[in-house]
Amino acid sequence: MRRIVSAQCEVAIVGSGFTASLLARVLAVLGYDVVMLERGAHPRFAIGESTTPLANLSLERLATRYGLADCHRLATHGRWLAHHPEVRRGLKRGFTFYRHHPGESFADRGVESERLLVAASPDDALADTHWLRADVDHHFVRQAVAAGVDYRDRVELTGAEVKSDGVRLRGMRAGEPLELHAGFVVDASGPGGFLARQLSIPSDLDRTETRSALVFGHFDGARLMADEAPGLPSGPYPDDWAAVHHLLDEGWMYSLRFDHGVTSAGFLVTPRGLASLQLEGADASTLWRALLQRYPTVGRLFAGATPLMPIAFSPLVQHRLTRASGARWALMPHAFAFVDPLFSTGIAWGLRAVERLALAFEAVASTRRTPELPLLARYESALTAEADQIDLVVAGAYEAMAHFDLFAAQAMLYFATVSFAELRQRLMPEESAAWNGFLGVGDPVLEPLPHESLRRLRRITHGRGDAGSARERAEFAAWMASAIEPRNVVGLADPARRNLYPVDLDTLIDRHALLGLSRAELMESLPRLRGLGPEPAFARG
Ligand SMILES: Cc1cc2nc3c(=O)[nH]c(=O)nc-3n(C[C@H](O)[C@H](O)[C@H](O)COP(=O)(O)OP(=O)(O)OC[C@H]3O[C@@H](n4cnc5c(N)ncnc54)[C@H](O)[C@@H]3O)c2cc1C
């Protein structure tokens, strides 16, 4: 007879990506007895690397609320280098986009180039980062263990039964059966979808508009756009130190440079784009090479690059479920839904969910010890609306890829929405900020826009990539500029900027009224902006 290793805990967390270990750690800080179960072992490769101001704002809030000094230090590139140089990362000053055309090198037409740069930070020290997930996730797991989380790796979970008083998880570890009785379970297994399978949660993928396949890897020796197009007018930051997006006929490519020279890169290819390549059944490397060959500048960037792992292919990156929580369980966003890496929403959304679940547990720490049903229902409806919203913004952007002018206009919707949210949350911090809708959900001005924008774009592109007439594109850009105007606190959609948007405090001060602040109130709250105020005491050591 084999021994069954049986254990009990208040909260079981499945997976050990950053959302799992941050939530586990916060719950341990709050005095919960937490077990975190990982199928693999750290350090391990993970995808999803580029952070944004909203992600780093969440990290800072978690740091302040629960005393997690490292989260504050990892929330800007400068603090990260000063305190955790051993955790590898990349400098991300903003979002860079180029439009490429098959068979043609990227055309340097000066300020008329098909190039869009939107700064997310005023300098390198305050900049966002790309996370080398192998290092970052390992770091957060170690911190969770140090906070008292019972972490078990190499666990193969085989069953979950949800009852009125808790959840029973079954599995194997090191050849021995394992059984865990938990008061509550959080599924942070990402697309692994552990609870979805165990609880037979139906897929809701049909309500997701976006469809894309992925070909990706990590590479050594990729060249920089600065070398390939050296004469471009200087932008608000060096183009390559950003989340670099190459827009193509078949979809787009991301390229994220880490400080140690490794580049994470991947093509997101639409079904129509994939079919047009006529490479059905081809392996990942063949697809990778075919796409590089079609776009000479992108081809040169990666011609001499060495893959650090086998290039991988996933025919469909989207997934979506009908449920995100129940009386004894909750799903992290990446287990619930994923749309596409365009606009780097994943980390910010995941951290927002960590905050929300942490608050839900915090509220009952001295009473029932499992989140109240109304809060879990609120969590589920927030994630549902937000997954829809991310999808609409991204689906619109895919339509808009038909022409660079359309894309640049659609991108303004994303940037207006997130910059407004960031500035409101920084300048007017609220206890309940974590429950604010992500990507404009709940905002009467912003919430309807992605749907309307997608509708307008499809009228131009006919859903088949038509670029429309110059007049149609200009009308769309004008509509977008006026639609975002009530939330456009940073001067986006301004033709005078020539698609090069720096961080501009003067414009912010001029537009104080859009935030509901007088000029004097805005000036007074400016020190709350990233890096302008004093650091919390725990962050100085
Ligand atoms: C191609 C691509 C690019 C992306 N780029 C970005 C980006 O630039 N910026 C951004 O913000 N977001 C990006 N994302 C999204 C990002 O990857 C996710 O938001 C993020 O990884 C979510 O983290 P997580 O900790 O919740 O889950 P994950 O990172 O998915 O971690 C899940 C963990 O659970 C473990 N696991 C799985 N199944 C089981 C099981 N049955 N039992 C136990 N453990 C299990 C896995 O081993 C893993 O450790 C991208 C996603 C994709 C697909």
DSSP string, 294-334: HSHHHHHHHHTPEESS--EEES---EEBS-SEETTEEE-HH
Mean pLDDT of 248-258: 98
Report the percentage of the chain scoring pLDDT > 90: 96
Backbone φ and ψ for 480, nearest 5 degrees, come out as: -60, -45
In sequence order, the 6+-apart residues with CB closer than 8 A to the CB of 109 are none
Stretch 196-223: mean pLDDT, rounded? 98
pLDDT level of residue 279 (50, 70, 90 thresholds): very high
Question: Can you give the pLDDT at residue 6?
Answer: 82
For residue 190 and ligand 1, the question of a CB distance below 6 A is answered with yes
Name beta bridge partners: 116. 97
pLDDT per residue as tens digits for the range 136-148: 999 999 999 999 9
Tell me how far apart the alpha carbons of residues 197 and 205 are, in angstroms, rounded to a whole number.
15
Helix 133-146 and helix 18-29, axial crossing angle in degrees, nearest 10: 20
Q: Compute how many other C-beta atoms are within 10 angstroms of the C-beta atom of residue 370.
A: 21
Per-residue pLDDT of 102-113, as tens digits, reads 999 999 999 999
Q: List the one residue out of 219, 293, 294, 297 whose CA is nearest residue 256.
A: 219
Model confidence band, residue 1 (pLDDT cutoffs 50, 70, 90): very low
Ligand 1 in contact with 58 (CB < 6 A)? no
Written as one string, the DSSP assignment of 191-204 is GG-HHHHHTTPPB-
What the chain holds in terms of domains, given with CATH numbers, is: 89-125+211-314 (3.30.9.100)
Q: 269 CA distance to ligand 1 centroid (A)?
A: 20
pLDDT tens profile 296-311: 999 999 999 999 999 9
What is the reported pLDDT for 112? 97
Read off φ and ψ for residue 431, nearest 5 degrees. -55, -35
Task: Assign 59 to helix, strand or coil.
Answer: helix
pLDDT (tens digit, 9 = 90+) per residue, 363-418? 999 999 999 999 999 999 999 999 999 999 999 999 999 999 999 999 999 999 99
Atom of ligand 1 nearest to the CA of 171: 42
Per-residue model confidence (pLDDT) at position 532: 74
- In this prediction, residue 539 carries a pLDDT of 65
User: Is there an atom of ligand 1 within 6 Å of 40 CB?
Assistant: yes
Mean of the pLDDT values across residues 421-445? 96
pTM > 0.95: yes or no: yes
Q: Which amino acid is at 193?
A: G
